[in-house]
C-alpha cells in the first residue's frame, strides 16, 4: 500500500509568526471568524496577542472560550451552535491541544452536520466535506495538533477519551510562534515537551513507520533531546527549538500513528482527568523498555541522535538500554512524576482501564502486540 503524507497547506515558524495571521485571513477572503480558545489564555493575555492583531487589521471576529483541558463532547456541541449562530466562515484556534482539537471537531461538524452527536466521529469517520477552514496557533509545545489529522475528545458520561482520525480536519494554516509559548509554566512545558518526545519515539517505532517519517521523528528526537531541559528553564532558544521539534514530530506521527504509551495514557486522562502530557510522560520510559526487543535498530538510531558515545558500535542490546536510560534521565531531569499513584490512579480500577487501553485506536500501532494482562502489569509496575 502506498504511504500517504498530509501536512498543513501553509505553516509559519519562528518568533513573530503570528503577525501573518491577519494577512492570511484577508488573503483567503474570510469575512467572519470565530476564535476558539480557553478562558485562561484570555485571562493571561496569551490569546490576546493574536486578537490584538485582528483588532488592528479590523477583522470581524468573536471569541468562543468555553474549552477545558481534555475537552468534552459538550465543549464541541456548544462550539458548533456558537459557530452556526455567528455564521462564521473560518476558525482561528489558539491554545494547546485542547482548543485546537475542539476547533477541529467543531469545524468538521459544521461542514458535516450528520455527525453532530460527536461520538460517531470516533476512529476514521466517513466525512464527506472538509472542515470549516482552521487557522491554528499553538500555545503549548507538545501536541502538534496544529499539523495533525487527529483530535481527541472526552466522553465524560462513559469516562472515555476517543481519538478521531480524519484528513478533512487538518488546519489549513499553522503559526508556530515561540512567543505564544513563553508563558508556559515549567511543569506544562515539561509535560507537553515529553508528549512531543513520545510522539517522536512512538512514531519512529510504530508499525506503519517508513523512511520519510523516520527522518522526521529522528530529527524531532534530536531537537527535543537537546533543548527540552533549557526550554523548561524558560530560556528563549530552548522554547524556540521545542516549538519546532514538536511540530516536526507532528508532521511524522500524524501520518503513521502512535503506540501503547498513547493507548495507555488516554484512559488515565478519561478516568482521572490527568493532563495528557503528564500521562504520556509518566508512562514513556517504562513502555519504551517493554517494547525494546521489537524495535530492530531503531533504538540505536535514537541513541545516535541523542549523541550517546559509541552508540554506533555498541551491541544492539547495549544501544537499546542506552536509549531507554537517556529518555528516563530526561524525564527525571524535567520533573516528570515517576509513579501513576501520585497522579491518583487506583489499583482496583486497573483491569477496566487496561481494557480501555487495549481498545484505544493508538494501541494496534505498537510494535509489540499486547494483552490486557500485560497492560495491567505495566500499570501495576508504575503504582
Ligand atoms: N490532535 C492531536 O494530534 C493531539 C496530540 C496529542 C495530544 N492531543 C490532545 O491535546 C490535549 C492536551 O493539550 P495540551 O497538552 O497542549 O494542553 P491543553 O490545551 O489541555 O492546556 C492545558 C492548560 O495549559 C494552559 N496553557 C496553554 N498554553 C499556555 C501558555 N502559553 N501559557 C500558560 N498556560 C497555557 C491552558 O490554559 C490549560 O489550562 C489532550 O486532550 C490531548 O489528548 C491531541
Ligand atoms: Fe500525545
Give the domain-ending residue among 141, 165, 181. Answer: 181
HSE, side-chain direction, 13 A CA sphere, residue 218: 17
Which atom of ligand 1 is closest in space to residue 41's alpha carbon?
A: 37
Residue 5 belongs to some domain of the structure: no
Write out the three cell numbers for 311.
552508540
Instruction: Indicate if the pLDDT at residue 245 is higher than 90.
Output: yes
Spatial separation of the C-alpha atoms in residues 42 and 53, rounded to whole Å = 14
* Residue in 71, 101, 192, 272 to alter for ligand 1 test, most ligand atoms within 8 A of Cβ: 101
On the 0-12 / 13-18 / 19+ scale of CB atoms within 10 A, 257 is buried
Give the domain-ending residue among 123, 146, 181. Answer: 181
Binning pLDDT at 50, 70 and 90, where does residue 232 land? very high
Instruction: Indicate if the pLDDT at residue 191 is higher than 90.
Output: yes
With a pLDDT cut of 90, the percent of the chain lying above it is: 99
Task: Tell me which residue has its CA closest to atom 34 in ligand 1.
Answer: 184
CATH number at residue 92: 3.40.50.1970
Instruction: Indicate if the pLDDT at residue 73 is higher than 90.
Output: yes
300 in the same domain as 216: yes
Whose atoms come closest to the Cα of 192: which ligand? Answer: 1
Binning pLDDT at 50, 70 and 90, where does residue 62 land? very high
Stretch 273-301: mean pLDDT: 97
129 in the same domain as 252: no
pLDDT score of 237: 96
User: Which residues does 137 contact at the CB level (< 8 Å), separation at least 6?
Assistant: 18, 21, 50, 92, 93, 94, 95, 146, 174, 175, 177, 180
In the chain, the number of structural domains is 2
Task: Tell me which residue has its CA closest to atom 21 in ligand 1.
Answer: 96
77-132 pLDDT per residue, tens:
999 999 999 999 999 999 999 999 999 999 999 999 999 999 999 999 999 999 99
Whose atoms come closest to the Cα of 141: which ligand? Answer: 1
Distance 143 CA to ligand 2 centre (A): 5
Distance 59 CA to ligand 2 centre (A): 33
95 in the same domain as 226: no
pLDDT score of 317: 98
Distance 29 CA to ligand 1 centre (A): 29
pLDDT score of 1: 79
Distance 101 CA to ligand 1 centre (A): 9
257 in the same domain as 161: no
Residue 146 belongs to some domain of the structure: yes
205 in the same domain as 292: yes
Give the domain-ending residue among 181, 210, 241. Answer: 181
Residue 2 belongs to some domain of the structure: no
Which atom of ligand 1 is closest in space to residue 188's alpha carbon?
A: 24
User: Which residues does 291 contact at the CB level (< 8 Å), separation at least 6?
Assistant: 205, 259, 260, 366, 367, 368
Task: Tell me which residue has its CA closest to atom 9 in ligand 1.
Answer: 97
Is there a contact between 362 and 258 (Cβ–Cβ < 8 Å)? yes
List all residues whose CB is within 6 A of at least one atom of ligand 1.
38, 40-41, 44, 46, 69-70, 95-98, 101, 139-140, 142-143, 145, 148, 150-152, 181, 183-184, 188, 192, 195, 276-277
215 in the same domain as 107: no
As a three-state string, the secondary structure of the chain is CCCCCCCCCEEEECCCHHHHHHHHHHHCCCCCEEEECEHHHHHCCCCHHHHHHHHHCCCCEEEECECCCCCEHHHHHHHHHHHHHHCCCEEEEEECHHHHHHHHHHHHHHHCHHHCCCHHHCEECCCCCCCCCEEEEECCCCCCCCCCCEEEEEECCCCEEEEEECHHHCCCEEEECHHHCCCCCHHHHHHHHHHHHHHHHHHHHCCCCCHHHHHHHHHHHHHHHHHHHHHHCCCHHHHHHHHHHHHHHHHHHHHHCCCHHHHHHHHHHHHHCCCHHHHHHHHHHHHHHHHHHHCCCHHHHHHHHCCCCCCCCCCHHHHHHHHHHHHHHHHHHCCCCCCCHHHCCCHHHHHHHHHHHHHCCCHHHCCCCCCHHHHHHHHHHCC
Task: Tell me which residue has its CA closest to atom 13 in ligand 1.
Answer: 97
263 in the same domain as 364: yes
196 in the same domain as 173: no
CATH number at residue 331: 1.20.1090.10
Strands 160-165 and 61-64: unpaired
Distance 142 CA to ligand 1 centre (A): 8
Which atom of ligand 1 is closest in space to residue 254's alpha carbon?
A: 3
Instruction: Indicate if the pLDDT at residue 207 is higher than 90.
Output: yes
Spatial separation of the C-alpha atoms in residues 321 and 21, rounded to whole Å = 45
Domain that holds residue 235: 186-381
Task: Tell me which residue has its CA closest to atom 41 in ligand 1.
Answer: 70
Instruction: Indicate if the pLDDT at residue 216 is higher than 90.
Output: yes
Spatial separation of the C-alpha atoms in residues 15 and 5, rounded to whole Å = 27
As a three-state string, the secondary structure of 118-171 is CHHHCEECCCCCCCCCEEEEECCCCCCCCCCCEEEEEECCCCEEEEEECHHHCC
150 in the same domain as 220: no
89 in the same domain as 29: yes
Instruction: Indicate if the pLDDT at residue 35 is higher than 90.
Output: yes
Whose atoms come closest to the Cα of 150: which ligand? Answer: 1
Instruction: Indicate if the pLDDT at residue 40 is higher than 90.
Output: yes
User: Which residues does 42 contact at the CB level (< 8 Å), separation at least 6?
Assistant: 48, 63, 65
* Residue in 36, 69, 253, 266 to alter for ligand 1 test, most ligand atoms within 8 A of Cβ: 69
User: What is the average pLDDT value for the chain, to the nearest integer?
Assistant: 97
Amino acid at each position: 500500500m502506498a504511504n500517504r503524507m498530509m501536512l498543513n497547506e501553509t505553516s509559519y515558524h519562528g518568533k513573530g509568526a503570528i503577525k501573518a495571521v491577519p494577512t492570511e485571513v484577508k488573503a483567503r477572503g474570510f469575512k467572519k471568524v470565530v476564535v476558539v480558545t480557553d478562558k485562561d489564555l484570555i485571562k493571561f493575555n496569551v490569546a490576546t496577542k493574536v486578537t490584538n492583531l485582528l483588532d488592528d487589521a479590523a477583522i470581524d471576529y468573536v471569541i468562543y472560550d468555553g474549552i477545558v483541558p481534555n475537552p468534552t463532547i459538550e465543549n464541541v456541541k456548544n462550539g458548533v451552535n456558537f459557530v452556526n449562530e455567528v455564521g462564521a466562515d473560518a476558525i482561528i484556534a489558539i491554545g494547546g491541544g485542547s482548543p485546537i482539537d475542539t476547533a477541529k471537531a467543531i469545524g468538521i461538524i459544521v461542514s458535516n452536520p450528520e455527525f453532530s452527536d460527536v461520538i460517531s466521529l470516533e476512529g476514521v469517520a466517513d466525512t464527506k466535506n472538509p472542515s470549516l477552514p482552521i487557522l491554528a496557533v499553538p500555545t503549548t509545545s507538545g501536541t502538534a495538533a496544529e499539523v495533525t489529522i487527529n483530535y481527541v475528545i472526552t466522553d465524560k458520561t462513559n469516562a472515555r477519551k476517543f481519538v478521531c482520525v480524519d484528513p478533512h480536519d487538518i488546519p489549513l494554516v499553522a503559526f508556530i510562534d515561540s512567543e505564544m509559548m513563553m508563558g508556559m509554566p515549567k511543569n506544562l512545558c515539561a509535560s507537553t515537551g515529553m508528549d512531543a518526545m513520545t510522539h517522536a519515539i512512538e512514531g519512529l517505532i510504530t508499525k506503519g513507520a517508513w523512511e520519510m517519517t523516520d527522518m522526521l521523528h529522528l530529527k524531532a528526537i534530536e531537537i527535543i533531546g537537546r533543548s527540552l531541559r533549557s526550554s523548561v528553564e524558560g530560556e528563549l532558544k530552548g522554547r524556540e527549538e521545542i516549538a519546532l521539534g514538536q511540530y516536526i514530530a507532528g508532521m511524522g506521527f500524524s501520518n503513521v500513528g502512535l503506540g501503547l504509551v498513547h493507548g495507555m495514557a488516554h484512559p488515565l486522562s478519561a478516568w482521572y482527568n490527568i493532563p495528557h502530557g503528564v500521562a504520556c510522560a509518566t508512562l514513556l520510559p517504562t513502555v519504551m523498555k517493554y517494547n525494546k526487543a521489537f524495535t530492530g535498530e531503531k533504538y540505536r538510531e535514537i541513541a545516535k541522535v541523542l549523541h550517546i558515545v559509541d552508540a554506533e558500535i555498541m551491541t544492539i542490546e547495549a544501544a537499546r538500554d542506552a536509549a531507554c536510560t537517556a529518555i528516563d534521565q530526561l524525564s527525571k531531569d524535567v520533573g516528570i512524576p515517576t509513579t501513576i499513584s501520585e497522579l491518583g490512579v487506583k489499583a482496583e480500577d486497573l483491569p477496566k482501564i487496561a481494557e480501555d487501553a487495549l481498545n484505544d485506536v493508538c494501541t494496534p500501532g505498537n510494535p509489540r502486540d499486547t494483552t490486557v494482562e500485560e497492560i495491567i502489569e505495566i500499570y501495576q509496575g508504575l503504582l
